[in-house]
Structure 1
Amino acid sequence: MSNATQASVNTNGPIAGPVIGASLVCADIDAVSRIYQANFSMSAAQPGVISKEQADFWQSPHLAGAEQIILTSPSGANWLRLISDKTAEKVTPLANYGWMSLEVNVANVDQCAAKLSTDFSVLGAPANLELSDAIKAMQVAGPVGEVLYLTEIKAAVPPFELPMTDAELDCLFIPVLKSPDRAASLAFYEHINSHKGLSFDTKITVLNRYHNIDISHQYPVATLQFKGESLIEIDQVESGNSNSNAGLPAGIALMTLEVSEFPSDIDELASLVTVNDSYYGSSEVKLYRGPAGELVELVLKNN
């Protein structure tokens, strides 16, 4: 999570959330599953096969019959879905527009760091955030080029609503979007959420190191609070690889968010009805493409 200063927020509450999870597209799904289970004590909740209906929904018909694995955290959260695509190549961490990283809460980030295998490369060692000493985090790149922010939250950090946990690894609570246009991306998610976000400038050390620029360089950033102690962070970065192709990209392919209603004036790419799925639940799901080229699934809340 980045450091926020001098921002104001709408008093109306959010209508979207929580973040359900994220999906990784990988060439060797069994290896990635083993790595996550070994490093974070996760378990395979629901290995299965991707149906033709699901593959068509993702605009990736070649994935019909491919394997998918839903991984469960020690806390019981089913938030990480692995999707097998033998043609997928490892992405360069932080390079692409779209879903750049996944922030996950942990009980003790130092213990996580000590346990990590060489399948993860450390981009930033555990350190307290300037925002608050109540947040200590590290950044790592994983086996398919995905970036994880492993974040320990020790106390409340107003005005944000953030989760605390006693579990080794809990849930995804902040998907981080790399965007060429903060305002356009924020407006897209504000519309889905019917709630105003925070906009501010701040340094992002991991990006400054990646771009090999002054460590104090600041980026236009926004955050938008969702229900369920989750939110989205939007980082505006001038350079990035675009994803405009149909279908699921390699790496962090899409984010899944629960909503109480679908936006009426944003065109979806596809719609799907699922039944008895441990990831979606029994819900209608719609797929959208955001302004940064990212894919997001909106799952209608079961009342």
Structure 2
Amino acid sequence: MIDSVTVVTADLDAAVAAYREGVGLEPGAEHRVSGGPVPELEGRRSVVLSGTGAGGAVRAVEIPGARAPEPLTTLGWAAAEILVADADEATARARAAGLRVLVEPRPVGAGGGLRAAQVAGPAGEGVYLTQVDRAPEGFTLPRPSGPVGPVFIAVLASGDLETSRAALEERLPARRVTDHRLPVRVLNAQLGRPDGTLHRISTLQLPERCAVEVDQYPADVAAAPGRRSPRDGGIVLVTLRGGGPSGVWNVSGAGGALMASI
């Protein structure tokens, strides 16, 4: 399952407040990173924030001076998808706490069983607030046990979907569920594309009701300088528990995105 997504921020206190007040995740005690898979994070202040139920947490790590990219505009880990009981209420909460709403709640996926909104996270990451009433065909997804649940999907922005997906399938106990072209509203808005522009999206089902979504980004985005180090901010690492051989590795074709298994 997804154990955590690691977000690098210039201001840990502000990021913790945003996730607590704007999303509803509960912070644990502050600590210093020690012995982790990313050397640049060693010794940095960090807080883990969790929702109810088993599954992924947001791990915020502070690097003073780290930048906050515009969400969903560079390659690498683009977004954390968080389970919520009511996407409309979750969006209202995020807005009231000062988070920028990128796309208002709307039905997503096939079958009408999902409703989601996207907001800008405090470190330049995308945050999807997703209500699961019924999983689309082929998926196994969690149901909420409280207003805000865990991170259950990590979204990867790739310049070469097939290369990135092959790297994931080689290393992970993943089952391919989708590969199709869709007019992804939040990508069109953030990348400045006309409404209705299609993007190739492929999703891999992981054990324990989690998934990884791989989004094919346009060639001009893939060619531009993007995040290359933790100081570039946003989500720098996705960690899986029981997700294949242990270790940390670079997901090919995705701008230096790191994944670890523990």
TM-score, normalised relative to structure 1? 0.78
What SS does the corresponding residue of 2:260 show, helix, strand or coil? strand
Is the Cα–Cα contact under 8 Å of residues 2 and 56 in structure 2 kept in the other structure? no
- Structure 1: distance between partners of 2:25 and 2:206: 25
* CA drift at 1:145: 1.4
* CA drift at 1:243: 4.7
Is the Cα–Cα contact under 8 Å of residues 173 and 207 in structure 2 kept in the other structure? no
Structure 2 counterpart of 1:28: 11
1:67 aligns with 2:45: yes
Select which of 174, 182, 190 maps to 2:169: 190
Output one character per residue of 1:168-224: Cα deviation in whole Å (capped at 9) or x when no partner: 110111111110111001101111125442322212111112233221111121111
1:96 aligns with 2:74: yes
Is the Cα–Cα contact under 8 Å of residues 69 and 232 in structure 2 kept in the other structure? no
- Structure 1: distance between partners of 2:48 and 2:173: 30
1:109 aligns with 2:58: no
**Structure 1 gap ranges (5+):** 1-17, 263-284
**Structure 2 gap ranges (5+):** none
- Counterpart residue identity of residue 289, structure 1: N
CA-based RMSD of the aligned residues comes to 2.0
Select which of 287, 295, 303 maps to 2:258: 295
Superposed, which structure 2 residues align to 1:261-276 within 5 Å?
A: 261-262=244-245
- Structure 2: distance between partners of 1:260 and 1:194: 6
* CA drift at 1:42: 2.4
What SS does the corresponding residue of 1:103 show, helix, strand or coil? strand
* CA drift at 1:261: 3.8
Structure 2 counterpart of 1:156: 135
* CA drift at 1:138: 0.5
What SS does the corresponding residue of 1:145 show, helix, strand or coil? coil
1:165 aligns with 2:128: no
1:19 aligns with 2:2: yes
Name the % identity: 25
What SS does the corresponding residue of 1:259 show, helix, strand or coil? coil
Output one character per residue of 1:98-131: Cα deviation in whole Å (capped at 9) or x when no partner: 0111111100111112222353111110111252
Superposed, which structure 2 residues align to 1:1-303 within 5 Å?
A: 18-51=1-34, 53-54=35-36, 57-60=37-40, 63-75=41-53, 79-116=57-94, 117-197=96-176, 198-238=178-218, 239-240=220-221, 241-243=224-226, 245=228, 247=230, 249-259=232-242, 261-262=244-245, 285-291=246-252, 292=254, 293-299=256-262
- Structure 2: distance between partners of 1:97 and 1:191: 21
* CA drift at 1:76: 6.6
Change (3 A) 1:189 1:144: same
- Structure 2: distance between partners of 1:95 and 1:107: 28
